């Protein structure tokens, strides 16, 4: 079995070392490679590439020259439409670049975002669920960074809608998020969508996704991926007992980890930054 990690880096220097340590200590399959799509200053990219080389014997590092946006500055004016559009476009382009550089022989792809932590047994748990449910995509439960509460990026349903042209004829389709599922401490649920903070998917699922074909839905790349999967008939499941805490930074430089931190990674974090 061959697995490739898809690691999109924006960058986020405030938390990258913690995320890398999490990846280093986590249980991983034997035949594992990493595809990193990295934007940012040259010194940051050079340092990150060196650190990833120390973790992965098989690394493909792609310099995303045109994809850098100061993601954390968005927090200063989250309502600025032009900033949001630029951010969304850059994220789509980063995933599109990843799709162009995949290891085409991988059996599974493991999405990991550069601001999301995960329990050390996540990969093993995902594979158990994938076998039990005979499904194509498995995710844990991640968290919003833009709310004051520790609000889970809960598991959602998706609804496809028609787009009509000027003559009231259906020209295309789009998607809406509906029905945030009830929060639970454990169990497995069939998914419409969730984030891409930490997701595993079968090879043929990911290789068929063309991110730029879905930017018209005016939603994030994560929703676009799950919408694509829904349209193709792939089955996705969410695991309530895999919590994926999110690391955020505020305009004043304060750092906080939002969400439930699994006991097997709590030793990795500075508890002064943890809000429960």
Task: Please give the average per-residue pLDDT across 130-157, as a whole number.
Answer: 77
- When mean pLDDT is compared across 33-42, 154-163, 229-238, the lowest value belongs to 154-163
Domain 2-154+182-275 sits in CATH 3.90.550.40: yes
Are the CB atoms for 191 and 139 separated by under 8 Å? yes
Are the CB atoms for 176 and 159 separated by under 8 Å? yes
Q: What is the DSSP string of 200-215?
A: EEEHHHHHT--GGGGG
Q: What pLDDT digit, counting tens, does each position of 150-160 carry?
A: 455 578 888 88
Distance CA 114, CA 162 (A): 34
Distance CA 205, CA 104 (A): 12
* Residue 40, token pair as written in the block: 């940012």
Q: Which helix (H) or strand (E) holds 157?
A: strand 156-164
Distance CA 115, CA 99 (A): 21
* Residue 16, token pair as written in the block: 């990258």
pLDDT of residue 1: 92
pLDDT bucket at 147, cuts 50 / 70 / 90: very low
Percent of the chain with pLDDT over 70: 81
Q: Residue 45 pLDDT more than 50?
A: yes
**Selection from 155-159, 229-233, 251-255, 266-270 with the highest mean pLDDT:** 229-233
What values do phi and psi take at 65, rounded to 5? -60, -35
Output Rg (C-alpha) for the chain, integer angstroms: 18
Beta bridge partners of 190: 237
Are the CB atoms for 243 and 259 separated by under 8 Å? yes
């Amino acid at each position: 079995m061959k697995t490739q990690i898809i690691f999109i880096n924006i960058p986020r220097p405030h938390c990258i070392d913690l995320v890398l340590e999490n990846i280093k200590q986590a249980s991983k399959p034997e035949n594992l490679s990493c595809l990193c799509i990295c934007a940012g200053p040259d010194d940051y990219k050079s340092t990150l590439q060196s650190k990833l080389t120390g973790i992965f014997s098989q690394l493909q590092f792609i310099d995303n020259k045109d994809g850098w946006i100061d993601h954390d500055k968005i927090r200063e004016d989250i309502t600025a439409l032009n900033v949001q559009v630029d951010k969304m476009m850059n994220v789509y382009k980063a995933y599109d670049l990843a799709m162009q550089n995949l290891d085409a022989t991988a059996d599974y792809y493991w999405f990991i975002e550069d601001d999301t932590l995960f329990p050390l047994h996540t990969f093993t748990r995902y594979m158990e669920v994938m076998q039990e449910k005979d499904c194509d995509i498995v995710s844990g439960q991640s968290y919003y960074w833009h709310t004051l509460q520790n609000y889970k990026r809960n598991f959602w349903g998706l609804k496809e809608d028609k787009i009509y042209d000027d003559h009231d004829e259906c020209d295309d389709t789009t998607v809406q998020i509906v029905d945030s599922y009830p929060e639970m401490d454990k169990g497995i649920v069939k998914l419409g969508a969730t984030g891409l903070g930490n997701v595993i998917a079968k090879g043929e699922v990911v290789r068929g996704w063309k991110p730029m074909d879905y930017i018209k839905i005016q939603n994030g790349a994560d929703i676009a991926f799950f919408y694509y999967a829904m349209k193709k008939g792939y089955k996705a499941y969410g695991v309530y007992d895999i919590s994926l805490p999110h690391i955020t930074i505020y305009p004043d430089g304060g750092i906080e980890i939002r969400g439930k931190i699994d006991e097997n990674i709590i030793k990795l974090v500075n508890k002064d930054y943890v809000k429960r």
